[in-house]
């Protein structure tokens, strides 16, 4: 398995020939437009070359792991991508919002 997401443009789903439940489809296919898919691709390529995971708009937050790819995870194991915005933007955003809410409550 390679460090990458399967990405398609939202308007180009005609190649899917069998019904996929919405929740599973969102887990498997991350829908990015062409520009964002290119952006994501560049971050993932840089991560693969440097073992430094990409940030999103300069926010150095990972809901699992740290910015440096764990040496305990082989380079071809997608598990190292978990926690990065580019791997799962929805979960990343929800986790960051939860951290920010807890921070506000602590004030």
Q: Is residue 1 included in any domain, yes or no? A: no
Q: For 23-41, what is each residue's pLDDT tens digit?
A: 656 655 566 677 888 888 8
Q: Is residue 28 included in any domain, yes or no? A: yes
- The tally of domains found in the chain comes to 1
- The pLDDT value recorded for residue 104 is 78
pTM of the complete model: 0.67
Domain hosting 101: range is 6-106
Q: Is residue 56 included in any domain, yes or no? A: yes
Confidence check: pLDDT of 3 > 60: no
DSSP letter, residue 69: P
């Amino acid at each position: 398995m390679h460090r990458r997401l399967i990405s398609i443009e939202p308007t180009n789903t005609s190649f899917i020939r069998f019904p996929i439940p919405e929740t599973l489809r969102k887990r498997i296919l991350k829908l990015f437009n062409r520009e964002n898919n290119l952006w994501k691709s560049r971050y993932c390529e840089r991560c693969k070359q440097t073992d430094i995971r990409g940030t999103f708009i300069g926010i150095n937050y990972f809901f699992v792991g740290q910015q440096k790819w764990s040496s305990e995870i082989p380079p071809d194991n997608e598990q190292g991508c978990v926690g990065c915005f580019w791997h799962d933007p929805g979960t990343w955003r929800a986790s960051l919002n939860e951290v920010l809410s807890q921070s506000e409550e602590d004030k």
